[in-house]
A and B are shown apart, each in its own frame.
Chain A
Amino acid sequence: EPEVTQTPSHQVTQMGQEVILRCVPISNHLYFYWYRQILGQKVEFLVSFYNNEISEKSEIFDDQFSVERPDGSNFTLKIRSTKLEDSAMYFCASNGQGIYTEKLFFGSGTQLSVL
């Protein structure tokens, strides 16, 4: 089965530093998502992206966050100035049609630790 790949698997950073989390969605998918999961808490929606634009974002996705599709294969999440509370597992996901009843394919996640 096709896979969404995420790099790195673990990222450690100092508070206030910028981090970029990288994802390669499934090649024929057009809709891309970022979710995060703080340890012991729910998987939370951050943002959805289609046609080089943000489709929807949650309250969590504030001005410190941005997403980009810099080329035809990568999809990135940037956190400009990390805070301790940004420590979480970040999941990238994609699907083909972007409708909510469609299966989401998730990557294995990037564990971000902000010290």
Chain B
Amino acid sequence: GENVEQHPSTLSVQEGDSAVIKCTYSDSASNYFPWYKQELGKGPQLIIDIRSNVGEKKDQRIAVTLNKTAKHFSLHITETQPEDSAVYFCAASGGSQGNLIFGKGTKLSVKP
């Protein structure tokens, strides 16, 4: 079945810097890749997603890139702000199993 690896597990950046979180997946049939943000005391919330027929997608300061050949996808946050501090999860689905398979999460800390 699908396996999703996520790096790094923790990431600390200065306010205004960029942050990049990377994920790899194993099932070449997977074709949907969402990113979820989890703030303290809350459940994960979808922030951006990408389908396999697209190489890049951007929404204001957030962008996701997908390399199907290498089976990896990345989340890019530019001009980070303290409120970006949270745990970010990547996920993949659409392969041999329909449900989302999550990465372990990345704890992002943005220092003012």
Contacts and interface: CB of A to CB of B under 8 A. Distances in A.
A42 B102 contact: yes
Contacts of B46: 103-104
Contact of A41 (B34, B45, B98, B104): B104
A100 B43 contact: no
A101 B33 CA distance: 8
A60 interface: no
A91 B43 contact: yes
B23 to A, nearest CB: 11
A109 B100 contact: no
A13 B5 CA distance: 32
B74 interface: no
A108 B99 contact: no
Interface in B34-56: 34, 36, 41-46, 49, 51
A108 B43 CA distance: 4
A44 B93 CA distance: 13
A35 B38 CA distance: 14
B43 A101 contact: no
B107 to A, nearest CB: 11
Interface string A31-72: 001010000111111001000000010100000000000000
Interface string A84-110: 000000010100000011011011110
Given A43-B44, A108-B41, 4 more contacts: A41-B104, A91-B44, A100-B99, A108-B42
27 contacts: A4-B43, A33-B99, A40-B104, A42-B101, A42-B105, A43-B44, A43-B91, A45-B99, A45-B100, A48-B99, A56-B99, A58-B99, A91-B43, A100-B32, A100-B98, A100-B99, A100-B100, A101-B32, A101-B93, A101-B94, A103-B34, A103-B46, A104-B44, A104-B46, A106-B36, A107-B43, A108-B42
